[in-house]
Amino acid sequence: MSANNKQFLFNQIIWMGISIGISLAISVILPFPISLLAIIGIFILLNYYMRKRMMRRMGMGGGMFGSMSPSSMFGDSSLKYYCMSCGTQHKQAACPKCGSKMKRVGS
Ligand SMILES: [Zn+2]
């Protein structure tokens, strides 16, 4: 997994270099307002292409949530629930000690 992340970062840097090169070339070739429009258009296309490529490689349509693991999105591994009336830490709907359903979230 970390090797994939490294590869991903490496790709990002390469793409950044390519897009900077392209935008520099365009700003030299074309006059100002047109070059800006062309750069924006190319950036949008490149972004779209990269996103599609990444998603296919990762095997999912995660989009902006692609880098997050399901446990960090939905998990409560770092969250703890405490009973509001007696302070017992529990994960049930109702407190096992006093039966209160009022809970507060702590870490
Ligand atoms: Zn309780």
pLDDT in tens, 50-78: 888 877 877 654 444 444 444 444 544 56
Ion ligand 1: residues, Cβ under 5 Å: 83, 86, 88, 95, 97-98, 100
Q: Between 102 and 107, where is the model more confident?
A: 102
Distance in angstroms (rounded) separating the CA atoms of residues 97 and 35: 69
DSSP collapsed to 3 states, 34-64: HHHHHHHHHHHHHHHHHHHHHHHHHCCCCHH
Average pLDDT over residues 81-92: 92
pLDDT for 38:
86
Return contacts of 52-60, CB within 8 angstroms, 24+ apart. 54/8
Helix, strand, or coil here: 29? helix
Mean pLDDT is highest, among 27-31, 84-88, 102-106, for 84-88
Using a 10 angstrom Cβ sphere, with 0-12 exposed, 13-18 middle and 19 or more buried, the burial of residue 83 is: buried
pLDDT for 85:
93
Helix, strand, or coil here: 30? coil
Q: How far is the CA of 93 from the centre of ligand 1 (A)?
A: 11
Q: Between 57 and 89, where is the model more confident?
A: 89
Q: How far is the CA of 71 from the centre of ligand 1 (A)?
A: 27
